[in-house]
Amino acid sequence: MRDLQITSKGIAARGRVHDRTSGRHSNFFLENSQMKKTLAAVAVLGAFAGTAMAADVTLYGKIDLGLNYQHLDDGSVTTNQVSEKSGQNSGSRFGLKGTEDLGNGYKVGFVLENGFSGDTGAFSTDGKLFDREAQLNVQSDFGTLAFGRMGSLSSGLGSFNLNNYMAMSTGWGDYSSKLGHFGLNRARYDNMVTYQTPRFAGVRVSAQYSFANSGKEAVHTAANQRYAGLGVDYANGPFTAGLIVDTIFNKNTKDEVNTEDTLGVTLGAAYDFEVVKVFALGQYGQNENKFGGLSNRGYAYYTEMSTGNAGREAAGYVTDEGVTGYMFQLGMTAPVLGGKAYAAVSYSDAESDLDKTVAAPAGTYYTAADKATKDIGSKDFKGYGVAVGYTYPFSKRTYVYTFAGYEQLKTKTEGAATKKEKNTEFGFGMVHSF
């Protein structure tokens, strides 16, 4: 089905229909097969149609389904799994987007986009109808101002993302791209405000702030985990480059492991030689809750009672402070046999200090109110990954893909044996856009 549009002249899908609001008539050229699909879509969007006649509204989406094989080896347990997966190459989604021209160079636009699992039909995020994006924006000669839920500047996600310097983006499976090939753990956030300037001589500036990354804002600002970012990108013909500096303002509450703010720096560039396009990306993270495959939660060294954060084992526990490290990634794309080939290599290096709580009195549990800790060493992380992929289009809306990747993660905890993880992945599938 082609994009469904609701405009001031009526509802159109490969043709035009009668506009009841104005009394005007237009020609109707829908094919029989397309008519049924269009009428069904109109019925679903009937609630929107009555209020959208003055704006251009588009229903769009894509579905990605395929098969996946993973061989996972954590040094002690080996797992082999074959599964059907949705969104391996590009997340399955549907959405509504539109704009209204207010005149004098001003436009109002919106994006409502939901992610879903094509293999089960379930929403990607429980409790969110539009988890990928839900934003309202105003566009003018002075730039774009947007409010709502959207991807952060360095996330590789959403309408205002500046991190376009990864050959294999943020898709391509679990281990072929996302983990070993990405450093900073940035995502989509609620309660976001974004301002983006127009381009001047190829340069554009973007700024973001989230009042609370997830859910409604708490009364006290310090109780909200917040995001802030500032970025500048440059585009001139085949060359693009960008710099992003952002931070997570961690909750300053007694039950949080890491209360100090983070600092992330993303620097990337790409050049299109036509025969081949090359990408380079570097990221630095300081005091991060997650960086690459390393988490400040300490894996097996962090133990909780079934009651959650209210109580922990009486003997105390080991936890991490924020993670500090860097990541480099190189990649390329090239046209091959009517399709496109992809390749990427990456390296990550990070560390985190370890603290151990003092044991709680006999018969009691350690609580977050107890602050007595001692430094017991550090944990170091090194990882690298390689991945290749290929896409072949059957049409403008449909393509097939295949990919393979390998990732190795090495974690060294002071006073303990080195932990090695080796993950191999292969997948293929099809993507259809509508």
CATH topology of domain 55-433: Porin (2.40.160)
Task: Specify the amino acid at residue 123.
Answer: F
Q: Which of 131, 139, 66, 121 is nearest to 95 (CA)?
A: 131
3-state helix, strand, coil in the chain (%, to 5): 5, 55, 40
pTM of the complete model: 0.79
- For 291, counting Cβ atoms within 10 Å of its Cβ (0-12 exposed, 13-18 middle, 19+ buried), the class is buried
Question: What pLDDT tens digit does each residue of the chain (434 aa) get?
Answer: 444 444 444 444 433 333 433 443 333 333 444 444 444 444 444 544 444 445 689 999 999 999 999 999 988 889 999 999 999 999 999 999 999 999 999 999 999 999 999 999 999 888 899 999 999 999 999 999 999 999 999 998 999 999 999 998 888 888 777 555 568 888 999 999 999 999 999 999 999 999 999 999 998 888 899 999 999 999 999 999 999 999 999 887 655 666 788 999 999 999 999 999 999 999 999 988 888 766 655 433 333 333 344 444 434 444 556 789 999 999 999 999 999 999 999 999 988 876 655 444 444 444 444 444 555 567 788 888 999 999 999 999 999 999 999 988 888 877 778 888 899 999 999 999 99
Q: Which of 211, 209, 267, 263 is nearest to 241 (CA)?
A: 267
Please list, in sequence order, all residues whose beta carbon lies within 8 angstroms of the beta carbon of residue 140, skipping any fewer than 6 positions away: 105, 106, 107
Any idea how long the chain is?
A: 434
> Side-chain half-sphere of 370: how many Cα atoms within 13 Å?
21
